[in-house]
Amino acid sequence: MNDQTLTPEERVANLKGMGSSRKRVEDVRFTQGKGNYVDDIKMDGMLFGAFVRSPYAHARVVSVNKEAALAIPGVVAVLTAEDLAPLGLHWMPTLAGDKQMVLADGKVLFQGQEVAYVVAENRYIAADAAELVEVDYEELPVLTDPFEALKSDVVLREDLAGQTEGAHGPRKHHNHIFTWEQGDKDATEAVLGEADVVAEEMVYYHRTHPCPLETCGCVASMDKVTGKLTLYGTFQAPHAIRTVVSLISGLAEHNIRVISPDIGGGFGNKVGAYAGYVCSVVASIVTGQPVKWVENRMENLMSTAFARDYWMQGKIAATKDGKITGLWCHTTADHGGFDACADPTKFPAGFMNICTGSYDIPTAYLAVDGVYTNKAPGGVAYRCSFRVTEAAYFIERMIEVLAIKLNMDAAELRRINFIKADQFPYQSALGWEYDSGDYHTAWDKALKAVDYEGLRAEQAQRIEDFKAGKTRKLLGIGLTHFTEIVGAGPVKNCDILGLGMFDSCEIRIHPTGSAIARLGTISQGQGHATTFAQIIASEIGLPADDITLEEGDTDTAPYGLGTYGSRSTPVAGAATAMAARKIRAKAQMIAAYLLEVHDNDVEWDVDRFAVKGAPERFKTMKEIAFAAYNQAIPGLEPGLEAVSYYDPPNMTYPFGAYICVMEIDVDTGEWDVRQFYALDDCGTRINPMIIEGQVHGGVTEALAIAMGQEIAYDEMGNVKTATLMDFFLPTAWETPNYTTDHTVTPSPHHPIGAKGVGESPNVGGVPAFSNAVHDAFRPFGLVQSHMPHDHWRIWKIANGLGMHG
Ligand code: MCN
Ligand code: CUM
C-alpha cells in the first residue's frame, strides 16, 4: 500500500471517513457478550440497595418500622427520609427548578415512589428485607387528571403551599406549576377572528415511557482513604451528574469521578438524577463499601422519567384556498408529582414552540400550563428533542384536521404552506431561526416514491368496495412533514442548572500516526465510537480504524453536557471537527518545515500536505505525526494534540417526509403497515448505515407509541401498564419493513454541515402512523381520535361510526 501508487479515491476509501458506511466498531464486543454494563461491575465488598416503594398514589406516611428488616442477617442499613434529613439530602433539586423527595417525607405523591432504601449484602437479601419494612399509610384523595387537579381543593404539594411563585413565574393554583407563553396572543386571536376557516381540535399525546432494555442503575464507591467517590452509572450526561453530585453532597468536584460504562439504550430515560443515585452515594459514604443499585423493569416503568402527557388544544386559521394565516395552541402538561422535566432552564415546555412545524405561518401563539398530579415525575424523554415530538404531532394533526375542514387533499395543503427554500434562514412566528431546508424537494420526492396519486386512486376504489360490502378493510395513507430542532445549544439561550450547553472534543495523535479522541458526550447505542472517528479521519487524513474514541469518564474526558436531544452531532460533532482542524493547522506548519517551503506553499490533499504545483513532494499525516514528536520546528511545542469546546451559533433543523400506508380491519381493529417510507434530511451524512439504523429504531419506537404503548393509570392512581405484558414493546414480529431515503441540505453554520438525526424518526413517525389511522376513517366522518391506536380503540372508532351493522 505505497502512498505513491494509490489513487486519490483509494486514499479516501482507506480512511473510512465521512460518508462511508463504516461498520460499527462497538459491535465487536456487543455481539460477543463482552459489553460492560453497570450491572456487570463487581467490586470487593460490594453491597446492594433496594427500594421500598409506595403502593399508593397519594397517601400520608404515618410511620416506617425498620425493625423486622434490620433483623435479617446480611442487612446493613435501612435509610428513610429521617436519616437523610440531617444531611439535607431527603429532597433533591430537579433539572426543572423544582425539588423532589429522595425518600418519602411525610407523604407520597405517586405509586412506586421511593419510601425507604435497604442496603444488604446481596440483592436477594435486600429484596427480602424491603418486603419486611412496615409502612403505615393513610390514603389521600387521588388526582390523575390534570384538568381536575387544577380545580381540586386537594393540595398535592404541601411543601409549596402558599407559594405563588414557581421556578418559571406565577402559579395560578396550588396544583399549578407554571405558565409559559410564546408568540403574539392578541394578533393570533385577531387572525382567528377574521379567518375564512378555523379548525379547532384537542390533540392528546398520551403518557408513555422510553423503556430502554437496560434499566437505570449505578454503583457508588467511596474510598475513605483517598476521599474519592467513584460513581458508575447509566448516565446520559456524566459531567453534569458529577457537578450535581458535588453541589448536593458537598464533596469537592475533583474528588468525584463519574463513569458511564456501556449503556443499553437511554432514549432520554437516563438524563435525570434519581433517588437511587443519591441513596447509593449516601450508603457508600456511610458504610465505606461500594453500593450497587439497579432497577427492575416494573420500577423503571413506574418511577423513572415518563414521556409526553400533553393535552394540546389547537386552533388553526386559513383562507378558503388553504393558506394558513394563524396557529393557536393551549397545552395542559401533566408533570406528575414533581416537575422533573429535563429541559434547558429557560424552556419549561422544551422546544414546543417549534409547533408551527414546516409551515410558513405568519402569526402564532402558544401557552403551556404545567400541572401536578399523582403520577410519576419526569417529562422530557424518549427521542423527544425537548417536546418536539409533541409539537410535531400537534401541527401534523392540525394540518389534517384543517384539510378535512377545507375538503382539501392533505398533501397539497402541506405543499402550499411549506416554507420555501429561498426563505431560509427563516424566522418563525414563535421565535426560532431555521438554519436551512428544502421542503418542496423532499416532499415531491416522497410523494413520487410511494406513487401518491396511485395510492389515492386505490383508496377511492377501496372505499367503494367497502360501501358495496366487498371488503372489511380500509386503507389509510398517513402523511407527515416534520421539522426538528436539535443541537442545544447556543450557550446564550440554553443551560441546564446554569451549565451552558456547549460540548467538547480532545484529540491526541500518537507518534506512529494513530490517535485517541475523547468527547463530552456518551453513546447509548448511537455508535459514536464509529462515527466521530469518521469525522476525524476525513479532517486529518488518518484512517478511522486507527482512531480510538472514548467517552463517559469524567476524569479523562473534557467537560461536556452529554447525549440527548440529538445534540452529539450538532455540538460535539462540531467540536470534533474544530479540534481536528487545529491539529491540521499545526501539521501544516510541520509539513512545510519538513518540505522546506513556506506554510502557504503546501496544500491539503486527503491524507497529506503536498507542495503546491508539485504533488509528488508531500508529507503524509502519519509522517507528520512522527515528526511532531522528534523533529519539532525550533520554537514550536512538540506533540500533536488539540481540544475544542464548541458553543454552536444556532441549533440545527433537520427535517423529513414520512408516509405510512396502513390496512385496517374494521371488525377486529387490527392494523397492518403495508408500506413505510421515511425520507430524512440531516444535512451532511457522516455514516449512512448508522443513520439508517437510527431511523429504523426510531420509527419502530414511533410505531409502538402510536399503535399501543402507554403508561395508563386507573382512578386510584395504580399504574396499569408496568410490565412488558401490558406495555407494548414491538419485537421483530410487529415491526414492518421500512424504506429509507434522503436529501442533503447542509447546515450552513455547522463546520461539516451536519444536523442531528437520532430523534427525527420518532418525531416524524408518530404522526405518520396516527395520520394513517385517521386517514382510513376520514371518508366515514372521523376527525380526531386519541392515541394509542390499539386494536380495541380502533374497533371503537369503527363501532362509533356505525360500521358494525
Ligand atoms: N449521524 C450521522 N450523520 C448525521 C447525523 C448523525 O452519521 N448527519 C450519526 C451520529 O454520528 C451518531 C448517530 O447518527 O452516531 C446519532 O447522532 P445524533 O443525531 O447526533 O444523536 P446523538 O448521538 O446525540 O444521540 C441522541 C439521540 C437521542 S436524544 C435519543 S433519545 C436516542 C437516539 O439518539 N437514543 C438512542 N438514538 C438512540 N439509538 C440507540 N441505539 N440507543 C438510544 O438510547
Ligand atoms: Cu428527549 S430523549 Mo433523547 O433527548 O435522550
Mean pLDDT of 709-726: 98
**Annotation says 114 is catalytic:** no
Asked if 502 and 560 touch (Cβ cutoff 8 Å), the reply is yes
Residue 632, domain member (yes or no): yes
The answer on 617 and 674 residing in a single domain is no
In sequence order, what are the residues at sequence separation of 6 or more whose Cβ sits closer than 8 angstroms to the Cβ of residue 532? 505, 517, 519, 549, 572, 573, 576
Q: Which of 326, 316, 360, 313 lies closest to 188, judged by CA?
A: 326
Q: Is 341 in the pocket of ligand 2 (CB under 6 A)?
A: no
At 489 the pLDDT is 87
Q: Is 543 in the pocket of ligand 2 (CB under 6 A)?
A: no
Distance, in Å, from the CA atom of 114 to the CA atom of 103, rounded to the nearest integer, reads 5
CA atoms within 13 A on the CB side of 243: 14
Q: Is 384 in the pocket of ligand 2 (CB under 6 A)?
A: yes
Mean pLDDT of 368-396: 96
Distance, in Å, from the CA atom of 341 to the CA atom of 380, rounded to the nearest integer, reads 5
Q: Which domain holds residue 561?
A: 8-35+503-646
Residue 721, domain member (yes or no): yes
pLDDT one-digit tens code per residue, 670-684: 999 999 999 999 999
At 174 the pLDDT is 98
The answer on 294 and 421 residing in a single domain is no
Where would I find the H helices in 631-782? 688-707, 760-777
pLDDT one-digit tens code per residue, 194-225: 999 999 999 999 999 999 999 999 999 999 99
pLDDT at 400 over 70: yes
The answer on 597 and 731 residing in a single domain is no
CATH of the domain at 239: 3.90.1170.50
Burial class (CB in 10 A: 0-12, 13-18, 19+), 709: buried
At 679 the pLDDT is 98
Domain boundary among 608, 630, 646: 646
The answer on 317 and 464 residing in a single domain is yes
Residue 187, domain member (yes or no): no
Catalytic residue (one of 384, 505, 660, 682): 384
Predicted-complex ipTM score: 0.99
pLDDT class for 4, splitting at 50, 70, 90? Answer: low
- DSSP run (H or E) holding 83: helix 81-84
Single-letter code of the amino acid located at 628 = A
Q: Is 348 in the pocket of ligand 2 (CB under 6 A)?
A: no
Q: Is 560 in the pocket of ligand 1 (CB under 6 A)?
A: no
What is the CA(530)–ligand 1 centre distance, in A? 12
pLDDT class for 61, splitting at 50, 70, 90? Answer: very high
| Helices and strands, counts by H and E, the chain | 20, 35
At 1 the pLDDT is 41
pLDDT at 3 over 60: no
Residue 493, domain member (yes or no): no
Task: Retrieve residue 191's grid coordinates.
Answer: 387572525
The answer on 712 and 726 residing in a single domain is yes
At 710 the pLDDT is 98
**Annotation says 384 is catalytic:** yes
What is the CA(226)–ligand 2 centre distance, in A? 36
The residue to which cell 452529539 is assigned: 568
The answer on 720 and 581 residing in a single domain is no
Burial track 100-112 (b if 16+ CB lie within 10 A, e otherwise): bbbbbbebbbbbb
Residue 456, domain member (yes or no): yes
Residue 174, domain member (yes or no): no
**Annotation says 236 is catalytic:** yes
CA atoms within 13 A on the CB side of 71: 8
If one counts the domains in the chain, the total is 3
CA atoms within 13 A on the CB side of 248: 27
Burial class (CB in 10 A: 0-12, 13-18, 19+), 407: exposed
What is the CB neighbour count within 10 angstroms for residue 1?
Answer: 7
Burial class (CB in 10 A: 0-12, 13-18, 19+), 31: exposed
Catalytic residue (one of 157, 383, 518, 685): 383
Domain boundary among 646, 677, 703: 646
The answer on 743 and 679 residing in a single domain is yes
Residue 599, domain member (yes or no): yes
Distance, in Å, from the CA atom of 395 to the CA atom of 201, rounded to the nearest integer, reads 11
Q: Is 525 in the pocket of ligand 2 (CB under 6 A)?
A: no
Asked if 285 and 41 touch (Cβ cutoff 8 Å), the reply is no
At 358 the pLDDT is 98
Which of 526, 681, 684, 685 is the best mutation target for the ligand 1 pocket, counting ligand atoms within 8 Å of the beta carbon and taking the most?
526
Mean pLDDT of 379-386: 92
Residue 155, domain member (yes or no): no
At 805 the pLDDT is 82
pLDDT at 795 over 60: yes
- CA dist list (Å): 464 to 473, 474, 475, 782, 790: 11, 10, 12, 17, 26
CATH of the domain at 535: 3.30.365.10
The answer on 696 and 595 residing in a single domain is no
Q: Are strands 169-170 and 91-93 parallel, antiparallel or unpaired?
A: unpaired
Single-letter code of the amino acid located at 479 = L
**Annotation says 355 is catalytic:** no
The answer on 353 and 484 residing in a single domain is yes
At residue 782, φ and ψ (nearest 5 deg) are: -75, 135
pLDDT one-digit tens code per residue, 405-428: 999 999 999 999 999 999 999 999
At 248 the pLDDT is 86
At 2 the pLDDT is 47
The per-residue pLDDT of the chain, averaged, comes to: 97
The answer on 588 and 473 residing in a single domain is no
- How many residues can be counted in the chain? 805
The answer on 420 and 397 residing in a single domain is yes
The answer on 407 and 332 residing in a single domain is yes
Domain boundary among 646, 673, 702: 646
